[in-house]
Amino acid sequence: MQHILDAISADASPDEIANLAVPDTYRAAYVRRQDTEMFDGLESWEKDPAKSIHVGEVATPELAPDEAYVAIMASSINFNTVWTSIFEPLPTFGFLDRLGRESKWGARHALDQHIVGSDGSGVVLQVGSAVRNWKPGDRVTIHCNYVDDQDPSAHDDSMKAANQRIWGFETNFGGLADLAVVKANQLMPKPAHLSWEESAVNALCASTSYRMLVSSNAVQMKQGDVVLIWGATGGIGGYAVQLVLNGGGIPVGVVSSEDKADLLRQMGCEAVINRKEKGYRFWKDDNTQDESEWRRLGKDIRELVGEDPDIVFEHPGRQTMGASVYVTKRAGTIVTCAATSGYTIEYDNRHLWMRLKRIIASHFANYDEAWNMNRLVSMGAIQPTLSATYTLDQVGEAARKIHHNEHEGKLGVLCLAPQEGLGITDHALREKVGEDKITLFARHHAA
């Protein structure tokens, strides 16, 4: 891939990029089918992504007519790579095999190695014969909604498509690699004022938060809404806080350390709850929840903002859902996209129906939502939450950090990019937005 990196570094013309040979193999981070039972008998937290994620050469697949090869300059770690690497709740090879049965092009994905990663920034190298809107040399970011656009169910909201998938999780050839194969309708323009790694960390988490809070497909927050945000300096939470502030809402951010509380205040979130300091015990034991602890959280929120949340941004799942349903304002909404602490959820339904609350399910974002979110990032209205950057060889270690909740915001990964800070072309916009704002998470992490 050196000749590709040299051409990108030298700002080669679209024609020169189009004429670059795409190598037969490339470097990628992957898990192996033969390893899916390696953690059997261990507790979830004992399963180490660094033991199951390998980095090595893989074969370059043939390009389908609606796809592009992208030279990946940088990528990011998402929680889905943690799930893939610890083979929970299921090994992801089942997803690849199902895709493999769909079509000739789908069959390429059903391999004994799963190349992971659902984010990326880079340069288009080649496009398939059916691609119209993108060409070699285009600088892009990639969103992870992988849809079959010949399926009628994909044509209202593509997240409702019967065979909608997440690229690099439910498909192969993901972004934690020097090269990726993506559908043309996953491509978006790279924010010109950001580096490769700053551009690579936003698409998955920011678009998820955008759909949950802004889109008419979920809650469509109003000015003045109080929004309780769990994990407010985490991957999706860090973007949720920014979206609520931009939209005239009042975020109440929950975090688990004073350090994170400090970061949250620097983001402009004034109402902060340190859940560790508060010591909430929503569960008395594995089977019994404690309503008095839900009430204590509700009281803490009222003390901070004077009222109950119109919206709860939910994703921890089993540990918090009972409390989330309880504290939501009468006729308010709980929007959920995950269940990190357990997916069998319990809440007291009386608090839901008697008070006319709603639970809305949300999952990633359609192309329109991802595009709108990318536009906000490109305008400098939403900042990347990149706190630290790793090399491709360190993907396992970085995934372990996320698995153990030892990170803030997003962790970036340099793929082809030889160092941090490259790829910025609009210096004037960067200066206008402000280095301090763009690098808040990274500076906080370094301090």
Asked if 53 contacts 115 with a C-beta cutoff of 8 angstroms, the reply is: no
401 binds ligand NDP (CB under 6 A): no
Considering the complex, state which of residue 75 and residue 319 has its C-beta at the smaller distance from ligand NDP: 319
Quick one: which of 120, 174, 234, 380 contacts ligand NDP (CB under 6 A)? 234
Compute φ and ψ for 428, nearest 5 degrees.
-65, -45
Shortest Cβ 85–ligand NDP spacing (Å): 12
Q: How far apart are CA 444 and CA 264, in angstroms?
A: 11
282 binds ligand NDP (CB under 6 A): no
Compute φ and ψ for 422, nearest 5 degrees.
-90, 165
For residue 192, the number of C-alpha atoms closer than 13 Å in the C-beta half-sphere is: 9
Shortest Cβ 409–ligand NDP spacing (Å): 7
Identify which range of 74-82, 122-130, 215-223, 434-442 contacts ligand NDP by CB under 6 A: 74-82
Shortest Cβ 301–ligand NDP spacing (Å): 14
**What is each CA distance from 12 to 68, 85, 203, 385, in whole angstroms?**
18, 37, 26, 30
Q: Locate tokens 């400090």: which residue?
A: 262
Which residues are CB-neighbours of 101 under 8 A, at least 6 positions away?
Answer: 107, 110
Torsion of CA 147, 149, 154, 156, to 10 degrees: 130
182 binds ligand NDP (CB under 6 A): no
341 binds ligand NDP (CB under 6 A): yes
Torsion of CA 326, 331, 335, 341, to 10 degrees: 10
**What is each CA distance from 370 to 20, 315, 367, 425, 436, in whole angstroms?**
30, 19, 5, 22, 25
Considering the complex, state which of residue 75 and residue 233 has its C-beta at the smaller distance from ligand NDP: 233
Give the end-to-end CA distance of the chain in Å, rounded to a whole number: 35
Quick one: which of 26, 230, 313, 367 contacts ligand NDP (CB under 6 A)? 230
Shortest Cβ 205–ligand NDP spacing (Å): 5
Asked if 226 contacts 310 with a C-beta cutoff of 8 angstroms, the reply is: yes
CA 421 to chain centre: 21
Considering the complex, state which of residue 140 and residue 205 has its C-beta at the smaller distance from ligand NDP: 205
405 binds ligand NDP (CB under 6 A): yes
Q: How far apart are CA 395 and CA 78, in angstroms?
A: 11
Considering the complex, state which of residue 160 and residue 363 has its C-beta at the smaller distance from ligand NDP: 363
Considering the complex, state which of residue 385 and residue 394 has its C-beta at the smaller distance from ligand NDP: 385
**What percent helix, strand, coil does the chain show, rounded to 5?**
35, 20, 40
8 binds ligand NDP (CB under 6 A): no
Q: Locate tokens 């000749």: which residue?
A: 3
Quick one: which of 26, 69, 79, 95 contacts ligand NDP (CB under 6 A)? 79
Quick one: which of 86, 177, 213, 338 contacts ligand NDP (CB under 6 A)? 338
Q: Report the site for ligand NDP in 192-211 (rule: CB under 6 A).
A: 204-205, 208
Which residues does residue 58 pair with via DSSP β-bridges, in sequence order? 26
Q: Report the site for ligand NDP in 295-334 (rule: CB under 6 A).
A: 315-316, 319-320
Quick one: which of 91, 117, 231, 251 contacts ligand NDP (CB under 6 A)? 231
Shortest Cβ 118–ligand NDP spacing (Å): 9
137 binds ligand NDP (CB under 6 A): no
Quick one: which of 160, 302, 363, 375 contacts ligand NDP (CB under 6 A)? 363
Quick one: which of 36, 60, 163, 256 contacts ligand NDP (CB under 6 A)? 256
36 binds ligand NDP (CB under 6 A): no
CA 212 to chain centre: 13
Quick one: which of 255, 271, 335, 415 contacts ligand NDP (CB under 6 A)? 255
116 binds ligand NDP (CB under 6 A): no
- Positions touching ligand NDP (CB under 6 A) are 78-80, 204-205, 208, 230-231, 233-237, 254-256, 260, 275, 315-316, 319-320, 337-338, 340-341, 363-364, 402, 405
